[in-house]
Amino acid sequence: MPEDSTKPVRLIALMNQKGGVGKTTTTVNLAAAIARSGRKTLVVDLDPQAHASLHLGVDADALGSSVYDVLIDPSADVRAAIRPVSDMLHVLPAQTDLAAAETELADAPDRQRRLERALASLGETYEFILLDCPPSLGLLTVNALTAAREVIIPMQAHFLALQGVGKLLETVRLISKGVNPRLRVTGIVLCMHDPSSTHTREVVGDLEAFFEAARAQETPWRFARVLRPAIRRNIKLAECPSFGKTIFDYAPDAPGAADYGALAEVLVKEWDALLQRRAEAPVVVVPAPSVQARASM
Ligand code: ADP
Ligand code: MG
């Protein structure tokens, strides 16, 4: 690695202030798929409803410590709150008391950076960290956006969902102008997707046109795209949380497993390619003009 000898971590916030769009389903099953491809992966449950924890079979209210303790007490040991789901997949769970964290932290000067600090203390233990955000733009989501390098937006391709994306991007822009200039929107995951609907196809077309038009401007979503494959509506995905299982343990042959598996493959491949490019990048102290010209292309 040129400047940075530590192993990089791909830290992604799955964010949408609307509830019921597929954030938790995507966080849990995408993380499980990435872990199955051999990458050490951590899910951080930032929703007081603790759905991601339950989905991963962790009864958060029976736990000693959780993400709440980590946010409230900067000296708390993050590792003590993390629970293994499998060898490669771990979870930093939530409990219902997490709702209180927003008010308890309201006056803390470093309140936006609590999660970032906690995750930094994990060093390179995990290659992928996925943050399941609550359905709001409050302090918990702000902590996620401050800690993350990337934002993935799970959503359904409905006209009204499209309106919410503007507000969401504005929040990302504010965070990137303030505490986290490196934050980028990677793209949208289409959840509960029905490709046969004309309306759905129109909305996806609008989203793609929006991102294309944004390519010329310096925004955090300049390189964003509609990620493929879309996640089809699949009843097995709705069933598996109540068994505390990911789709890969509950119904490995279901379309939901195929879709999240394929999406994980795309993300892992692009990550490997990025690391490869970084590893091969020549360390040029004083670049020759021709190299400079090429680098700025
Ligand atoms: P959020 O975290 O954004 O509130 P969830 O991931 O909890 O959304 O999803 C909302 C509901 O939709 C849940 O009951 C979930 O099981 C269901 N669901 C999510 N994705 C799918 C899908 N692809 N097919 C069918 N049901 C889905
Ligand atoms: Mg959720």
Between the CA of 206 and the centroid of ligand 2 the distance, in Å, is 25
Identify the pLDDT of residue 1: 33
Query: Which protein residue's CA is at the shortest distance from atom 21 of ligand 1?
Result: 192
Q: Which atom of ligand 1 is nearest to 239's Cα? A: 16
Check which CATH number belongs to the domain holding 24 and give it.
3.40.50.300
238 lines ligand 1 (CB under 6 A): yes
Q: Is the pTM of this model over 0.85?
A: yes
Q: Which atom of ligand 1 is nearest to 21's Cα? A: 3
> Is residue 42 one of the residues assigned to a domain?
yes
- CB-based contacts of 276, cutoff 8 Å, min separation 6: none
Question: 171: buried, middle or exposed (CB in 10 Å: 19+, 13-18, 0-12)?
Answer: middle
43-76 pLDDT, tens digit per residue, is: 999 999 999 999 999 986 676 899 999 999 999 9
Q: What is the mean pLDDT of residues 127-155?
A: 97
**Is 230:187 a contact under the CB 8 Å cutoff?**
no
**Is 69:75 a contact under the CB 8 Å cutoff?**
no
CA 89/CA 230 separation, integer angstroms: 23
Q: Residue 76, SS3?
A: coil
41 lines ligand 1 (CB under 6 A): no
Helix or strand (DSSP H, E) at 278? helix 255-280
Mean pLDDT (the chain, rounded): 92
At residue 93, does pLDDT exceed 60? yes
Q: How many CB atoms lie within 10 A of CB 278?
A: 13
27 lines ligand 1 (CB under 6 A): no
How many domains are there within the chain? Answer: 1
> Is residue 2 one of the residues assigned to a domain?
no
Q: Which atom of ligand 1 is nearest to 154's Cα? A: 3
> Is residue 132 one of the residues assigned to a domain?
yes
Which domain does 258 fall in, by range?
10-296
> Is residue 3 one of the residues assigned to a domain?
no
Identify the pLDDT of residue 246: 98
Q: Per the structure block, which two tokens stand in for 100?
A: 């209180």
**Which numbered ligand comes closest to the C-alpha of 28?**
1
Between the CA of 26 and the centroid of ligand 2 the distance, in Å, is 9
CA 39/CA 31 separation, integer angstroms: 9
Q: Per the structure block, which two tokens stand in for 226?
A: 């509609």
